[in-house]
Each structure stands twice: as structure tokens, then as C-alpha cells.
Amino acid sequence: MVLEQFVDIMRPAIEKELQGTLDLHLSKSLPELYGMLAYHMGWEGEGAGPEAQGKRIRPLLVLLCAESAGGDWRCALPAAAAVELIHNFSLIHDDIQDRSELRRGRPTVWAKWGVAQAINAGDLMFSLAHLSVLRLRESCAENFVIEAVQLLQKACVHLTEGQYMDMSYETRREITLDEYWPMVAGKTASLLATSTRLGALVAGCEVNRQEAFWDYGYSLGLAFQAWDDYLGVWGDPSVTGKSIESDLLTGKKSLPVVYGLSQRGKFARRWLEGQIRVDEVAQLAQWLKEEGAQEFTRATAEGLTNQALKSLNRAASKGAAGDALYELTKMLLQRDN
């Protein structure tokens, strides 16, 4: 449980760094605007607290990678805050795009303040992320700071490309695996890969090793999403904390669904007929299982996790922080929420 010890030390430091970014740059004369961001980050308002803050996986990855690559994790805090702010900017805008009224059991920003203010709050969070990473100047050489800014901006381009694909798939009943993976790469893997590489960058690794850390985060991101998709069909809603709705109800083109469609069996026939009803969900999940989608999704997530661990090995992550990364990687796949 070496991971837990790191989390206990790093989590408060991450929250402090995040709050510092807001305090430093945001005009105190605009308490309501500040309040929107603080609410979304889980610090203020009804239901505030650790539950509302999420797991902060991305900043933890930055810090653990920095430490395991031989750096001092404290120097990587501005980068850690930056990736978490980018993640949260994208959540604020995602919620508007998906018309989701709840996130982690609380009303979303747009549900509370309206679409117009929520778009703007997301834009502000985005800018703050990039101001945060610039604080690396205090501990890093200038060329490394510029590299970090560039990595982060490229991740944002990939994020919006992935989001574009995701939204354009909504208007279709069917997509292929070749269309699924670039969407997940953009939406999830790219920012995780950026997180792990930023850690290596701040630690001063040469490019080859930075790339190994990137590969680690990238595979981890794909594995994470594959497993998320698994839970979206076969997870227990009371454990995942997601709404009672199975991914089968929302029409999400998740990995099991995309695989199931390729099998052209009972599942595909029913799916292509249109919207699934609540009373059909159990039957469709069963058909998917019988047609191999459960086994395929699990095997894919496991294969990607092994690939991630191999890259982590190649990155020569060291010490207790390296052990914590192994633990985190395995935990993400064994999680039931």
C-alpha cells in the first residue's frame, strides 16, 4: 500500500496548488465567478468535499512519474495542477454538450448558472491551467517550460478532436473499432500520456525516457477507458455511482457495443433497430456477453494494462514512487467504479 502513503501526502499539496492558481490570477472582486470554479472543483457549495473532488488521478500521475524518474515531485506541482484544470475545463464543457445535469451527485455548472456562464467558466478554467504550468519557471529551465506548455496545448487539440468525434458519432447508430480508438485516444489517452510525460520532463529525463513515460500514460488511458466501458454495461450502478442508466440505454458507442455490432448477431440486430428500452437492458447485456463482447472488452483492458506496465518498465521508474505507479496501474483495472 505504498500508493496510499503517497496519496496521503500528495493530495493536500495538489489541492493547495490548485487553489493557489485560482487565488493568484482571479480577481477577488468577482466572487461569483470564482465561486463557479470553486464549486466545480468540489471546494465550495452544497455537497463540497473529497467525494465531489474526484480522485485527481492525472495530477497524481504527474507527481508520481516525476518522483519515480528521479525528480522532486514538489517541483512538478504546477504541471500537476495544470492537467487537472484542463481535465476539469473539459468536464464543464462536456456537461453542457451532453446536457448532463449531475456530476458526482451534484448539479453541474450549467445546471446551476446556465449555459452561457458555464461556457465562460470553462474558458476561464482553461486559461488558468496554462498560467499554472508557467509556474514551472520557478524550478525548471526555460526550454523545459516551453516544452511543457507545448505538450499541454497539443493535448488540448487532441481533446477537442476526440470530443468532436464523440459528438459526431452520436448522430449515428453504428461505428467501427477503427473509429472508436482515435476517439478514446483523443478524449482520454492523450491527457493521461501528457500527465506522465510532464512528470518525466520536469524530472529532467532525456527524450527517449520521456517517450517511454508517454507510452505508459497512453496505454493506461486506453485501458482505463476500456474498463470504464466494461463497467458501463456490466458494472453495478450502485457501486459505479453513475446514474442508474446503463450505457446501453444512453446509446453510447462504448467498446462492448462497438464489438457487439461487429459480430452481427442478436445484439447488433436489436441495437440497429433503434433506442433500447429499460426492460431490454438485461437481455442485451446478456446477448453481448454470449457474443463475446464481455470477454473481448476484459481482454483488451488487460492487454492494454500489460502494455502500460511494459512501458513503465522501459521508463525505468524507480523507488517507492515507481512501486506506487505499478500499484495505481493495476488498481485502475481492478476498480469496480
Residues making contact with a copy of itself (CB under 8 A): 25-27, 29-30, 32-33, 93, 96-98, 115-117, 119-124, 126-128, 130-131, 134, 137, 142-143, 145-146, 149-150, 153-154, 156-157, 159-161, 163-165, 167-168, 182
Rounded Cα gap, residues 18 and 15, in angstroms: 5
Q: Which is nearer to a copy of itself, 43 or 144 (CB)?
A: 144
Could you report how far apart the first and last alpha carbons of the chain are, in Å? 19
Q: Which is nearer to a copy of itself, 165 or 233 (CB)?
A: 165
Collapsing DSSP to helix, strand or coil, 48 comes out as coil
Rounded Cα gap, residues 53 and 49, in angstroms: 6
Least CB distance to a copy of itself at residue 103 (A): 16
Least CB distance to a copy of itself at residue 160 (A): 4
- The DSSP annotation for 267-290 comes to HHHHHHTS---GGGHHHHHHHHHH
Least CB distance to a copy of itself at residue 200 (A): 20
Tell me, what DSSP letter sits at residue 174?
A: -
Rounded Cα gap, residues 175 and 170, in angstroms: 10
Could you tell me where the DSSP H helices lie in the chain? 2-25, 31-40, 50-53, 57-68, 77-98, 109-113, 115-134, 142-170, 177-184, 190-202, 207-234, 237-240, 247-250, 255-263, 266-272, 281-290, 293-314, 319-334
Q: Which is nearer to a copy of itself, 68 or 195 (CB)?
A: 195
- What residues have CB less than 8 Å from 166, skipping those under 6 apart? 183, 187
Q: Which is nearer to a copy of itself, 41 or 332 (CB)?
A: 41
Q: Torsions phi, psi of 154, nearest 5?
A: -65, -40
Rounded Cα gap, residues 283 and 336, in angstroms: 22
Q: Which is nearer to a copy of itself, 167 or 331 (CB)?
A: 167
Least CB distance to a copy of itself at residue 252 (A): 15
Residue 27 CA neighbour count, 13 Å, CB half: 5
Least CB distance to a copy of itself at residue 262 (A): 21
Q: Which is nearer to a copy of itself, 131 or 281 (CB)?
A: 131
Contact indicator for 164, 122 with CB cutoff of 8 Å: no
Least CB distance to a copy of itself at residue 181 (A): 13
Closest C-alpha among 159, 209, 167, 145 to residue 189: 159
Least CB distance to a copy of itself at residue 301 (A): 26
Q: Which is nearer to a copy of itself, 5 or 127 (CB)?
A: 127
Least CB distance to a copy of itself at residue 89 (A): 8
Q: Which is nearer to a copy of itself, 102 or 115 (CB)?
A: 115
Least CB distance to a copy of itself at residue 251 (A): 15
Residue with the three cell numbers 528521479: 70
Q: Which is nearer to a copy of itself, 214 or 271 (CB)?
A: 214
